[in-house]
Amino acid sequence: MRYEILIAGRGGQGVVLAGVIIGYAAITSGLNAAQSQSYGPEARGGKVRSEIIISDGPVGYPKVRRPNLLVTLSQEAYEAYIDSLREGGILIYDEDLVRPRGGRRIESYPIPATRMAEELGLRLSANMIILGAISALSGVLKPEAVEEAIKKRVRRHLETNLKAFRRGLEYVERLKGDQRN
């Protein structure tokens, strides 16, 4: 099993932290993981991506080639990476920041992550909402493992970030239920 996740957006959205948490959750679940990140010299506000490989065997090449799951938190990120998402892959995007184009056979999940985080009083917790969505959709990470990883890796506003994670998880569970009906 090799599962590839690519999270992309702009600096300041918590893209790198989200990738680190996913990798940590995978490793503490007994899987192998490799996480790498890339960001422009602008740092805050510039392009950022986090690549995570999760595997039940050794990870020979630590870069994402054809993600199973793509998260885009800006239009620029969407345009840059949508064509790399494998057929039948999962796209999670912030519906207030990204306008997707159709035409591909993928599963799309629009999530108002930034708006939901603002409702919690901490805009910076949008990445935790996204982690909840990833946990609900990936099929490789148990939500409990991700929640424990958040507790180990997040220092500030822990309770709000945990609440955001749970809200993202619940939101996607409802979306999945609506799609089945």
Return the percent helix, strand and coil in the chain, to nearest 5. Answer: 45, 20, 35
Structure tokens at 130: 């996204």
pLDDT bracket for residue 104 (50, 70, 90): confident
Tens of pLDDT, residues 1-19: 899 999 999 888 989 999 9
Q: Which residues contact 25 (CB under 8 A, 6 or more apart)?
A: 141, 142, 145, 146, 148, 149
Tens of pLDDT, residues 21-50: 999 999 999 999 999 988 765 555 678 999
Tell me, rounded to whole angstroms, the distance of Cα 52 from its chain centroid: 10
Tens of pLDDT, residues 122-180: 888 999 999 999 999 998 999 999 999 999 999 889 999 999 999 999 999 888 776 66
Euclidean distance between CA atoms 163 and 63, whole angstroms:
31
Q: Which residues contact 144 (CB under 8 A, 6 or more apart)?
A: none
* pTM assigned to the model: 0.91
Q: In the CATH scheme, what is the homologous superfamily, with its name and number, of domain 2-180?
A: Pyruvate-ferredoxin oxidoreductase, PFOR, domain III (3.40.920.10)
Q: In what order do the strands lie in the sheet with 107-111?
A: 32-39, 47-55, 2-10, 69-72, 90-94, 107-111
Q: Where are the chain's structural domains?
A: 2-180
